[in-house]
């Protein structure tokens, strides 16, 4: 996977950023995960993520592009 390739970070066409992709509820906290079958990103509530672990994957491959802090 090329980390800076925008094609790898596309959201599913049916995803809505303020609703869970599975249950369509407007949850107070949504996770951005990868839908394994379509290989696209979606928003899921924590409950749907746990109930559908075989269909979704936490995806931390996108690098943080902000300034690095030194201590």
Q: What are the residue ranges spanned by the domains of the chain?
A: 6-58
Given a contact cutoff of 8 angstroms between Cβ atoms, the answer to whether 56 and 65 are in contact is no
**Does residue 16 have a pLDDT over 60?**
yes
CA 38 – CA 21 distance, rounded (Å)? 13
pLDDT band at 58 (very low <50, low <70, confident <90, very high): confident
Q: What pLDDT digit, counting tens, does each position of 24-55 carry? A: 999 899 999 999 998 899 999 999 999 999 99
**Does residue 64 have a pLDDT over 70?**
no
Q: Are strands 31-35 and 40-44 parallel, antiparallel or unpaired?
A: antiparallel
Given a contact cutoff of 8 angstroms between Cβ atoms, the answer to whether 2 and 8 are in contact is yes
> Cα–Cα–Cα angle for 26, 29, 34, nearest 5°?
95
């Amino acid at each position: 996977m090329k980390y800076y390739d925008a094609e790898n970070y596309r959201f599913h066409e049916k995803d809505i950023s303020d609703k869970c992709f599975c249950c369509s509820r407007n949850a107070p906290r949504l996770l951005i995960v990868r839908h394994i079958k379509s290989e696209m990103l979606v928003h899921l509530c924590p409950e749907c993520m746990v109930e559908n672990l075989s269909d979704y994957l936490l995806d931390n491959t996108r690098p943080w592009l902000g300034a690095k802090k030194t201590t």
